[in-house]
Amino acid sequence: MTIKEIFDSMDYGTAPESAKEAMAWIEEHDGAFGLFIDGGWTKPGQTFDTKNPANGERLAKVTQAGADDVDRAVQAARKAQPGWAKISGHERARILYAIARLVQKHSRLFAVLETLDNGKPIRESRDIDIPLVARHFYYHAGMAQLQDAELPDREALGVAGQIIPWNFPLLMLSWKIAPAIAMGNTVVLKPAEYTSLTALLFAQICEEAGVPRGVVNIVTGDGAVGEAIVTHEGIDKIAFTGSTDVGRIIRRATAGTGKSLTLELGGKSPYIVFDDADLDSAVEGLVDAIWFNQGQVCCAGSRLLVHEPVADRFYEKLKARMAKLRVGDPLDKSIDVGALVDPVQLDRVTKLVEAGADDGDVFQAPAEMPANGCYYPPTLITGMSPASSLMQEEIFGPVLVATTFRTPEEAVSLANNTRYGLAATLWSENVNLALDVAPKLAAGVVWVNGTNMFDAAAGFGGVRESGFGREGGWEGLLAYTRPRRKTTTLKPIAAFPAPKDARVDALDRTAKLYIGGKQARPDGGYSRPVWSKTGDLAGHASLANRKDVRNAVEAATGAAGWAKTTGHARAQILYYIGENLSARADEFAHRLNALTGARNGKAEVERSIDRLFTYAAWADKYDGAAKPVPLRGVALAMNEPVGVIGQFCPDDHPLLGLVSLVAPAIAMGNRVVTVASEPFPLAATDFYQVLETSDLPGGVVNILTGSHAELAAPLAGHLGVDAVWSASGADISSLIELESAGNLKRTWVNNARGRDWMGADGEGREFLAQATEVKSVWVPYGE
């Protein structure tokens, strides 16, 4: 277009960014890249092409790492880790700071390279991705600096294996690497096969910034390389961002290995527009929600829910705006929508839409589309029914599906009608309505009158099948550190055997299960005698089965009102439980001594009362936070209950172990299904008599007795359970992690590591963090 033509038409001209420097950088490497291992580059081995999706041309050749390369990278990271963790937080802070400075210095090169490799508009890589990358390293330089003073009780995990997707290649790298190395871990990172280039440039930056050898290792390649990282024995932690299907594979592959795991997976995030919203702003918001990065965003606002009275007007405005979107060469600064990452993705989006579009009315814009390259037009499909495949499945493209609602209650139920729970957006000028709806949304992030806002200070991550763990903020550091405590190897304790001349009492003294606030006979009708050390019959314990698990979960689900009670009210009940236990302290102490054969029953009861008081104290004090984010507004970090938690008590300390798991969970508003100590179950069944007299609503605490090995799979596999904790034996840790993959629930298992329940390690923030989910709620605030 000539200048004259532009003046005549008053149309936008093109404003292309030059690819020259980025291409020159690729040329410096002869167009072929090796791996970055132990501070040096390997020669390019077996390679594959990385292409520019805007025109299909090859940009460079990238090495497909083999299992032996992964092994060398892990060895290098292992070797470097103790030294890296040992230097002061300040020394690490200086290096992270240097990385941030260098990212800024080379920001244009990074932005152009990212756009060439991924197809995203240069406006986005230049103004969003790369500045957020620098911000992430600055922020975490600060975390390294503060670590010694603020996190003295936590330590690095060791070597982190990190696997990232192609939608925000460098940004996801920074979300993974910055917190990991800030806290003293070393990393082996694999970029996605479509988009390796900025990770390789980053490796070069690490050399310049003085990152010691082996601290950061970058291996490129496909899913097989990811698998080799996931299954490598030298890795302590896996952090993954990508599809829910692969997340599930990784959950299963790491089950029982003792590796810690965080998963940031897919989403189908609702975008709710109320009738009192500023509709023009909400339309602009949608441009950022679903056409940002061509909709290839895990938290994209891809499901539009519009209040019926304004729906027609809103769709009209939206279509008018869509008609003005400019789709084209991503390197053109005046382009809104660029290319999808690869023909494979284009094909996937095309097929998904073709298969499901008949359920609604399709509108596509603009008329002008580039002839070649991986382009897909911005698409709106209205009139969808909530069950349509396109309303449920993640499309991961520039496709918005829409339906209407009549009441706020209906909006919430439609919004939550998904297996995912990553993010949600809501628009309303009514602060009462907005802040009433926000807590009801099943999502890790909620944006009020804004969308797709990110910052290093605000935790990001999902619930349900969107994964678990948070990235960013103080809460994000939990994923890269563990409590500094002495761990012992857990020894299973066997129940006392029946004496030779065992005589079972004629009287039925079978302790029942405790479900929904009532004593319940076990479904199977089985029980077992419980013997004391001296060979006396202490009673019979019920043997719960799969059906009892189902009943208990149902009861817990029904007690959802507990989550809405105030911390103050929960505290009162916990104090009351403590008081009632105290009134029967001697009886419990005696019973514990008889059951376990130990002499510390009195001390265990006292500690249990103390612990109940601790969590009564915490119930109204485990604060959230207000994060100062460099955008207009504030990000509130709200500690919400996880939901229904399944729990397996330790063998030892049958009363204190149970109290130590139940009390923090219910203090934070969760409901529990707790399986008592296997060898000594009767302390738990005595304890529910205390609960019965303590005003605890039925269904908040449900207690089962029986075989942990038999109950682990049904409880961990139950779709109504949101998290499972185990302080029981190692064998059930792996069973729990394996079964949890179904709905990707959170797990917290001990993998044969013992804990001193009588000491300080038996309580505290670690438990509270496990009992809560941080929801980041972004609200307008200030100018």
Point out the residues that are catalytic: 264
Closest separation in Å from C-beta 243 to ligand NAI: 3
> Cα–Cα distance between 666 and 638 in angstroms, integer?
17
Contacting range for ligand NAI; rule: CB under 6 A; set: 50-58, 161-169, 201-209, 664-672: 161-169
* Closer residue to ligand NAI in complex, CB, 298/318: 298
* Closer residue to ligand NAI in complex, CB, 218/318: 218
Contacting range for ligand NAI; rule: CB under 6 A; set: 94-102, 245-253, 632-640, 715-723: 245-253
Closest separation in Å from C-beta 741 to ligand NAI: 13
CB 15 within 8 A of CB 334: yes
> Cα–Cα distance between 378 and 507 in angstroms, integer?
74
Closest separation in Å from C-beta 197 to ligand NAI: 14
Window 417-456: contact mask with ligand NAI (x via CB under 6 A):
----------------------------------------
- Return all residues near 407 (Cβ < 8 A) that are at least 6 apart: none
Residue with tokens 């060979």: 535
Q: Please, what sign has the CA dihedral across residues 130, 134, 136, 137? A: positive
- Sole binder of ligand NAI in the list 197, 246, 279, 559 (CB under 6 A): 246
Here the tokens at position 289 are 């929600």
Strands (E), 554-667: 625-627, 634-641, 644-648
- Sole binder of ligand NAI in the list 81, 115, 167, 302 (CB under 6 A): 167
Closest separation in Å from C-beta 468 to ligand NAI: 13
- Sole binder of ligand NAI in the list 37, 159, 163, 426 (CB under 6 A): 163
* Closer residue to ligand NAI in complex, CB, 171/635: 171
- Sole binder of ligand NAI in the list 23, 32, 151, 249 (CB under 6 A): 249
> Cα–Cα distance between 351 and 296 in angstroms, integer?
16
Sheet holding 513-515, edge to edge: 518-520, 513-515, 701-704, 671-675, 644-648, 723-726, 746-749
- Sole binder of ligand NAI in the list 53, 121, 165, 472 (CB under 6 A): 165
> Cα–Cα distance between 172 and 195 in angstroms, integer?
11
394 in contact with ligand NAI (CB under 6 A): yes
Closest separation in Å from C-beta 388 to ligand NAI: 17
Closest separation in Å from C-beta 318 to ligand NAI: 23
Report strand pairing: 301-307 vs 753-754. Answer: unpaired
Window 329-368: contact mask with ligand NAI (x via CB under 6 A):
----------------x--x--------------------
Write out the binding residues for ligand NAI, residues 184-213 only, by CB under 6 A.
Answer: 190, 192-193
Closest separation in Å from C-beta 470 to ligand NAI: 15
659 in contact with ligand NAI (CB under 6 A): no
Closest separation in Å from C-beta 341 to ligand NAI: 8
462 in contact with ligand NAI (CB under 6 A): no
Q: Give per-residue burial for 473-506: e unless 16+ CB within 10 Å, then b.
A: bbbbbbbbbbeebeeeebeebebbeeeeeeeeee
* Closer residue to ligand NAI in complex, CB, 132/249: 249
* Closer residue to ligand NAI in complex, CB, 206/297: 297
643 in contact with ligand NAI (CB under 6 A): no
Q: Which residues pair with 626 in a beta bridge?
A: 636
Closest separation in Å from C-beta 738 to ligand NAI: 16
DSSP state of 261: E
Closest separation in Å from C-beta 212 to ligand NAI: 26
Please count the CA atoms within 13 angstroms of the CA of 109 that sit on its side-chain side.
19
> Cα–Cα distance between 326 and 399 in angstroms, integer?
15
* Closer residue to ligand NAI in complex, CB, 49/308: 49
> Cα–Cα distance between 343 and 327 in angstroms, integer?
17
* Closer residue to ligand NAI in complex, CB, 118/660: 118
> Cα–Cα distance between 135 and 127 in angstroms, integer?
12
- Sole binder of ligand NAI in the list 298, 541, 577, 696 (CB under 6 A): 298
Can the peptide bond before residue 522 be classed as cis, meaning omega within 30 degrees of 0?
no
- Return all residues near 605 (Cβ < 8 A) that are at least 6 apart: 581, 585, 588, 589, 592, 655
Window 260-279: contact mask with ligand NAI (x via CB under 6 A):
-----xx-------------
248 in contact with ligand NAI (CB under 6 A): no
396 in contact with ligand NAI (CB under 6 A): yes
226 in contact with ligand NAI (CB under 6 A): yes
- Return all residues near 540 (Cβ < 8 A) that are at least 6 apart: 508, 509, 510, 511, 527, 528, 529, 530
Strands (E), 77-229: 154-156, 159-163, 186-190, 216-218
> Cα–Cα distance between 409 and 412 in angstroms, integer?
5
SS3 343: helix
Q: Please report, as ranges, the residues that interact with ligand NAI according to CB under 6 A.
A: 163-167, 190, 192-193, 222-223, 226-227, 230, 241-243, 246, 249-250, 265-266, 298, 345, 348, 394, 396
